[in-house]
């Protein structure tokens, strides 16, 4: 107990408290000024907005991938299952370089897309793709065990009661997966918001267009504007707390509706 608290304090709480203390060096007006500057606002908007969109995509695609991995037997299934973990294991900078070269104008995917008039690398679209890339395993790995545990009998029960496939999926299977889906979504979202390594290579980092909040923090630090950096950091921190809190509430709500046997 004591050890747990000490460890948590040293590792998590003290650095966070330091962050808040640092930001108190600013007056409220200065703090507000930094946050409402166009560049900060745009960076936050890009980070949160694209992360949210990427998490939604991951939610849908993750669900489809999980379904295929759990419910179908196909050659190479185990290999695909292992591939899901690559974004977890790959150093983010490596992922960033790989994605950038792939989507650059002469890259394997970038060239055909360029012919269609779609530019991916060095645009917000690139950020979006990098965020999808690093977020997908979170959804897959949280939902997968729950779907495996889901008894095939409840689907048979639904069918024998006259439910068609759509009713079985929408009224029986999805509601059982909701807590896991929410968790996966939140994890993917949180990871995408804070993602740095894999994004900055592909982002192009144009202020106000494709500059993410974590990068802006680094830029401010390198300009020795520590207070500015911490102000942005505090906002991200608070936002993250709010997300975690909201997800916790949602999960609690979903769980009281589906207590385990």
Which residues of the shown chain bind another protein in the complex (CB under 8 A)?
Answer: 151, 153-154, 156-164, 167, 171-172, 175-176, 178, 257-261
Rg for the chain, CA atoms, rounded: 21
Helix axes 174-194, 124-149, angle to 10 degrees: 150
Measured on CA atoms in the order 164, 169, 173, 179, is the torsion positive or negative?
negative
Return the number of the residue (7 or 253) whose C-beta is nearest another protein: 253
Burial of 152 (0-12, 13-18, 19+ CB in 10 A): exposed
Return the number of the residue (45 or 171) whose C-beta is nearest another protein: 171
Shortest Å distance, C-beta 163 to another protein: 4
Shortest Å distance, C-beta 236 to another protein: 34
Tokens read off for 201: 């290579």
Return the number of the residue (164 or 222) whose C-beta is nearest another protein: 164
Return the number of the residue (160 or 222) whose C-beta is nearest another protein: 160
Measured on CA atoms in the order 125, 107, 191, 69, is the torsion positive or negative?
positive
Return the number of the residue (224 or 261) whose C-beta is nearest another protein: 261
Shortest Å distance, C-beta 101 to another protein: 46
Burial of 49 (0-12, 13-18, 19+ CB in 10 A): middle
User: What is the separation of C-alpha 150 from the centre of its chain, rounded to a whole number of angstroms?
Assistant: 25
Shortest Å distance, C-beta 164 to another protein: 6
* Cβ–Cβ < 8 Å for 189, 52: yes
* Whole-angstrom distance, CA of residue 137 vs CA of residue 132: 10
Shortest Å distance, C-beta 150 to another protein: 10
Residue 241 sits at the vertex; the CA angle it makes with 239 and 245, to the nearest 5 degrees, is 120
Return the number of the residue (178 or 218) whose C-beta is nearest another protein: 178
Shortest Å distance, C-beta 256 to another protein: 9
């Amino acid at each position: 107990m004591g050890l747990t608290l000490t460890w948590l304090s040293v590792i998590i709480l003290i650095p966070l408290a330091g962050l808040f203390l640092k930001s108190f060096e600013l007056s409220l007006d200065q703090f507000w000024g930094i946050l409402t500057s166009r560049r900060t606002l745009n960076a936050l908007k890009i980070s949160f907005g694209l992360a949210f969109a990427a998490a939604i995509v991951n939610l849908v695609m993750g669900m489809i991938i999980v379904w295929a991995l759990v419910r179908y037997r196909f050659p190479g299934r185990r290999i695909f299952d292992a591939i899901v973990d690559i974004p977890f294991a790959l150093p983010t900078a490596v992922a960033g370089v790989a994605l950038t070269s792939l989507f650059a104008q002469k890259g394997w995917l970038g060239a055909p897309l360029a012919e269609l008039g779609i530019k991916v690398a060095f645009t917000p679209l690139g950020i979006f793709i990098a965020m999808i890339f690093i977020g997908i395993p979170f959804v897959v790995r949280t939902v997968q065990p729950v779907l495996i545990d889901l008894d095939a009998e409840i689907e048979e029960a639904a069918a024998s009661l006259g439910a068609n496939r759509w009713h079985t999926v929408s009224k029986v299977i999805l509601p059982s997966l909701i807590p896991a889906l929410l968790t996966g979504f939140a994890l993917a979202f949180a990871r995408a918001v804070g993602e740095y390594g894999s994004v900055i290579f592909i982002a192009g980092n144009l202020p106000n267009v494709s500059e993410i909040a974590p990068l802006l923090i680094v830029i401010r630090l390198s300009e020795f504007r520590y207070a500015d950096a911490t102000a942005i950091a505090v906002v991200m921190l608070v936002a993250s707390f709010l997300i975690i809190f909201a997800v916790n509430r949602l999960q609690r709500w979903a769980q009281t509706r589906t207590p385990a046997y």
